[in-house]
Amino acid sequence: MKYEGEKRLDQKEFEELLMANMGSMYNLAQRMTGNRDDSYDLVQEASLRAFRNFDKFEKGTNFKAWVLTVLRNIYINQYRKKVKEPYKVNYDDFSDYVGVPATTGLQEEIFGESLQNCIDQLSEDLKSVITLFYVDGLSYKEIAKVMDCPIGTVMSRLYMARHLLKKRLTEVMKHEV
């Protein structure tokens, strides 16, 4: 009869298996990302995640398949986040076409500080949902899981936070101009 301890790797065994499969991880990452730097980042993230969860790997199962699945899942999650992000345009390239003068560094600094001050004034729930959505790029579902609340509550808090920020920033900008 096997005991639970016999099914788990110790840290040294895990590190040896990880290092032995590093080449396969880099090759798969390179094929998926098509970029050397992104593939290094992906392998590093997968190695860290695998190391954090090495206690979940059972001795005698296919380590290479397990670690490559970890890597693939990280890539898929990053790709999904990237696809959901709105297309970003460099404002300086765009400002001439709409006839709006480019902002000065001072204007950007004032607006950035004002925005941060307005965010800091929000309640913790609203501040958290704004940060998780806009800074961390999480979906409503992911935010609901992190905050342990229904998706509808996340949507409501995000709406309220946007509304309050718009109102406060409008007031701040009236005073700044």
Task: Give yes or no: residues 57 and 116 share one domain.
Answer: no
For residue 41, what are its two tokens? 């980042």
Asked if the structure places residue 114 within a domain, the reply is: yes
**Range(s) of the domain holding residue 73:** 4-84
Q: What is the pLDDT of residues 37-76, one digit of tens each?
A: 999 999 999 999 998 988 888 888 888 888 998 998 898 8
137-171 residue pLDDT tens: 888 888 888 888 899 999 999 999 999 988 888 88
Contacts of residue 56, Cβ cutoff 8 Å, sequence gap at least 6: none
- State the Cα–Cα distance between residues 174 and 166, nearest whole angstrom: 12
Domain count, the chain: 2
Do residues 47 and 109 both lie within one domain?
no
